[in-house]
Amino acid sequence: MVRYVYDFAEGGRDLAGLLGGKGANLAEMARLGLPVPPGFTVTTDACRAFLATGTEPDGLIREVSDHLTTLEEAAGRRLGQPDDPLLLSVRSGARFSMPGMMETILDIGLTDESVLGLAKTSGNERFAWDSYRRLVQMFGSTVMGVDGSLFEGVLDDLKRARGAASDLDLTAEDLAGLVESYRNLVRQETGEYFPQSPAEQLRRAVLAVFESWNGERARIYRHREHIPDDLGTAVNVQTMVFGNLGADSGSGVAFTRDPATGRPGLYGDYLANAQGEDVVAGIRNTVPLTALAELDPVSYEQLRSHMSTLETHYRDLCDIEFTIERGRLWMLQTRVGKRTAEAAFAIATELADEGLITPDESLARVSGEGLARLMFPRFDTSAVGKALAHGLPASPGAAVGAAVFDSAEAVRRSAAGEKVVLVRQETTPDDLPGMIAAQAVLTSRGGKTSHAAVVARGMGRVCVCGAEEITVDTGARRFTVGATVVEEGTVVSVDGSEGAVYLGAAPLVDSAVMRYFETGERSDALVAAVAGVMERADGARRLEVRANADTPEDAARARRFGAQGVGLCRTEHMFLGERRKLVEAMILASDETERERALGALLPLQRKDFSGILEAMDGLPVTIRLIDPPLHEFLPDRTELAVRIAAVEARGERPDPHDTDLLGAVSRMHEENPMLGLRGVRLGLVVPGLVAMQVRAIAEAVVERTRAGGRPRAEIMVPLVGAVEELRIERAEVERVLAEVSQESGVPVRLPVGTMIELPRAALTAGRIAEEAEFFSFGTNDLTQTTWGFSRDDVEAEFFSAYLDKGIFATSPFETLDRDGVGRLVRIAVDEGRATRPDLKIGVCGEHGGDPESVHFFHAAGLDYVSCSPFRVPVARLEAGRAAL
């Protein structure tokens, strides 16, 4: 038989799926002997059954009433008993924490009768009426559907009439009158009386919590956090305890360590004579938890001891909610607490040092994303003060600028040299120019996959999104947070790593972690923690990590960051700048001699480029990709050129013949879809002499480095191969040139030749391609483009946010590898390539090589290495280590 109700004494934290996180942890605390107000949990099964059919499943009502009876017997009083009422809270609590997204109803059991009993037993009439009016308000809005703001309105009217500054200034009579007004309001709005049966209150409250699972707020939140819609919530029914019974009562929240820095020691806020909601709502100012040591030393000591029990038991940072009722401490909630990246590293290290967790576990507790955050410069947290608002940390970094409210203003001010922060409710593709011009983007709506977040991350712009506390008034050019008004032009500071916004220009500090990677300097405890974690990761990982680097400087930095080689050295930038003239000459050459002269001029320049990179990576592999983009990318823009010639002709003069030749070439070479045109290996097969020149430059650089006593390890990589025949022909040319250079120099140059796998056809025929390739490197950017048929530049800003909203994918496939599609091609290519050539070396050099989730996939798929931008190398090392756990 299915059971729908578990007493706290029966549950435990391993039952979180059934009892929800809150219920499972309440049970766990009860089991540990901590003081938890007694109660029981209605399971998520019951919720799912209710939501599916619209009625309570069979047996639920009986089970609830049985458990209620047990509760009443233990308490020695009945729910809503007129002379001495037992009161209950009815609390939502799903598998995954959805803070504030669903409903909780307090003080169930109060009626016109029992409110008098409560007044008598508590000896506090005001408290009893205050509790009752809270019930009518919460029940009225949550269960009976009355617009919550109507209650606020009635309360405000009363306060004004009494000249009361806060709720605390209202007397018992005032509050009794308020209950009367509330009940009239309920009747007026619903045609129903506020229920006077405690049992009915309880039943309806439970069902309302079930229903709150499908409330709009909750659904949006789940979508944003990728929480499945079909889990349902559990409902916790719990004896009420009261923090608002006088000066010896109160409520607070606490962490076992500082969630910002990870520093050990209790940390939190306390509010005397208050219910828990008042702490969070910020109605009155809280005091730091340490003040409780003076207010109530006994409770404080108990709290410390319970929290230490919890941290030892959960072996992690815990946060709790507690209430003190007339000097008696009650634990209302606990969970493993959220923390900043800094705290995550500090805590993982300390818990491992204390022996509470193993070194492997400590690696599991940190993340590459967190490490990336620590590598950005950030605001000096000791100097910034309290945040103005919080949102989601959508794109990391710290930025300061004047608030502006539309794209045009952002562009205008930034063109005038001002730094700006673009503030929008949400962004659309129309905001793109403003986002480019701004230092940071701040939105009041939308999740980490909203347009603002996706585009900002893509551009490396700082972004905080979904800062719901702020109200953006674009028309009036200002935003407000509570009573604070921020007009256009006001300087704000945006912390995209932590998701915080500050008023004014917050001071920036360099990242000590970045300095550590650059110089090895261990300046503080955080850096020492990071260094320890990196050592553990390096010890654990199987994947090698290389870097994508095109210059000696990048290669050297990558090496300092721990790169074990260059996985992708692009050669196209070697054709830019002043060298364009030589490329033009090569393209326009009318005969072999002219072409050879142009190529001959490029040769020593390329040789020098390669030699520098090989020197920076001496002893480590450097995979050099032969030229990939279409040649017209190196020529002037067709329209510009045509306009220039037309302007000359309009003046009746003769245009420069070089220009007309160039226009002819550009027009000939124009492509509708350059991404799918004459590029990659196709260039080498069609343009005479180009590949030979590049290979010669590489080989001669190798000779030069060898003669200088180095250990150059160049590898030659052919891009965009789709058929083994392409590679066979290209490779023959490569080998011919290598043999030539070996002969001329007397230094044998034997370099591995491999290919990129970046077309579906290459992946599907990888077994054949491996006959000619000594290594594979997945170019997952192009492979994603060609597998999905997306042109990255065209789709990302245009419709990806719509795709993300509709749930077609959870993250952009250009950010996190699409395992089902692109990943399948990767697996096929790995299997079939290795079947042909068991020692085939396989890596990846797309941007996915530095993306945590993708790194885990590449580990599982059996790749030998990932290659990413130099700054992502530490992130990839860490995630490769975590993937191997």
- CB closer to ligand ADP, 137 vs 755: 137
CB of 278 to ligand ADP, least distance (A): 8
Residue 869, helix vs strand vs coil: coil
Which of the following is catalytic: 845, 848, 856, 868?
845
What are the angstrom distances between the C-alpha of 426 and each of 196, 410, 431, 466? 45, 15, 9, 8
Instruction: Identify what 867 binds: Mg ion, ligand ADP, none; CB under 5 to 8 Å per kind.
Output: none
The DSSP 8-state label assigned to residue 83 in this structure reads: S
Asked if residues 442 and 421 have their Cβ atoms less than 8 Å apart, the reply is: yes
What are the angstrom distances between the C-alpha of 300 and each of 276, 284, 322, 324, 848? 17, 21, 11, 10, 49
Binding to ligand ADP, residues 100-119 (CB under 6 A): 100, 104, 106
- CB closer to ligand ADP, 276 vs 754: 276
837: left (phi over 0), alpha (psi -120 to 50) or beta: beta
- CB closer to ligand ADP, 252 vs 874: 252
Instruction: Identify what 273 binds: ligand ADP, Mg ion, none; CB under 5 to 8 Å per kind.
Output: none
CA-CA distance, 235 to 215, in Å (whole number)? 15
Asked if residues 721 and 756 have their Cβ atoms less than 8 Å apart, the reply is: yes
Binding to ligand ADP, residues 15-44 (CB under 6 A): 37
Mask 330-369, x = binds ligand ADP (CB under 6 A)?
--xx------------------------------------
CB of 321 to Mg ion, least distance (A): 5
CB of 93 to Mg ion, least distance (A): 8
Asked if residues 717 and 763 have their Cβ atoms less than 8 Å apart, the reply is: no
CB of 254 to Mg ion, least distance (A): 13
CB of 99 to Mg ion, least distance (A): 7
Instruction: Identify what 276 binds: ligand ADP, Mg ion, none; CB under 5 to 8 Å per kind.
Output: ligand ADP
Q: Of 91, 451, 768, 848, which one interacts with ligand ADP (CB under 6 A)? A: 91
CA proximity to 779, closest of 812, 817, 751, 820: 817
Binding to Mg ion, residues 14-73 (CB under 5 A): none
CB of 362 to ligand ADP, least distance (A): 29
Binding to Mg ion, residues 323-362 (CB under 5 A): 333
CA-CA distance, 598 to 607, in Å (whole number)? 15
Instruction: Identify what 617 binds: Mg ion, ligand ADP, none; CB under 5 to 8 Å per kind.
Output: none
CB of 86 to Mg ion, least distance (A): 21
CB of 804 to Mg ion, least distance (A): 30
Cα end-to-end span (Å), the chain: 39
- CB closer to ligand ADP, 72 vs 853: 72
CA-CA distance, 246 to 249, in Å (whole number)? 5
Residues contacting ligand ADP: total by CB under 6 A: 19
- CB closer to ligand ADP, 239 vs 349: 239
Residue with tokens 């919460």: 138
- CB closer to Mg ion, 211 vs 319: 319
- CB closer to ligand ADP, 324 vs 825: 324
CA proximity to 442, closest of 487, 489, 389, 482: 389
Asked if residues 757 and 829 have their Cβ atoms less than 8 Å apart, the reply is: yes
- CB closer to ligand ADP, 333 vs 787: 333
CA-CA distance, 571 to 623, in Å (whole number)? 11
Instruction: Identify what 351 binds: ligand ADP, Mg ion, none; CB under 5 to 8 Å per kind.
Output: none
Provide the residue count of the chain: 885
Asked if residues 134 and 271 have their Cβ atoms less than 8 Å apart, the reply is: no
- CB closer to Mg ion, 259 vs 567: 259
Q: Residue 240: phi, psi to the nearest 5? A: -75, 140
Q: Of 114, 141, 212, 238, which one interacts with ligand ADP (CB under 6 A)? A: 238
Q: Does 141 bind ligand ADP (CB under 6 A)?
A: no
CA-CA distance, 71 to 87, in Å (whole number)? 11
Residues contacting Mg ion: total by CB under 5 A: 1
Strand partners, 715: 623
Q: Does 321 bind ligand ADP (CB under 6 A)?
A: yes
Tokens of 560: 């300092």
Residue 696, helix vs strand vs coil: helix
845 catalytic? Reply is yes
CA-CA distance, 649 to 479, in Å (whole number)? 55
868 catalytic? Reply is no
Tokens of 746: 């007397």
Which of the following is catalytic: 451, 632, 848, 856?
451
- CB closer to ligand ADP, 323 vs 367: 323
Q: Does 241 bind ligand ADP (CB under 6 A)?
A: yes
Instruction: Identify what 91 binds: Mg ion, ligand ADP, none; CB under 5 to 8 Å per kind.
Output: ligand ADP
Asked if residues 730 and 695 have their Cβ atoms less than 8 Å apart, the reply is: no
CA proximity to 626, closest of 779, 826, 742: 779
Instruction: Identify what 611 binds: ligand ADP, Mg ion, none; CB under 5 to 8 Å per kind.
Output: none
Binding to ligand ADP, residues 261-280 (CB under 6 A): 275-277
CB of 851 to ligand ADP, least distance (A): 32
CA-CA distance, 557 to 870, in Å (whole number)? 7
Q: Which single residue brings its beta carbon nearest to ligand ADP? A: 276
The DSSP 8-state label assigned to residue 637 in this structure reads: P
Q: Which amino acid is at 42?
A: V
CB of 251 to ligand ADP, least distance (A): 6
CA proximity to 91, closest of 26, 29, 16: 26
3-state secondary structure 189-216: HHCCCCCCCHHHHHHHHHHHHHHHCCCH
Q: Which amino acid is at 682?
A: R
Binding segment toward ligand ADP, per CB under 6 A, in 97-105, 440-448, 754-762, 790-798: 97-105
Binding segment toward ligand ADP, per CB under 6 A, in 169-177, 235-243, 282-290, 309-317: 235-243
* Site for ligand ADP, rule CB under 6 A: 37, 89, 91, 99-100, 104, 106, 238-241, 251, 275-277, 321, 323, 332-333
Q: Which residues are catalytic?
A: 451, 845
* Site for Mg ion, rule CB under 5 A: 333
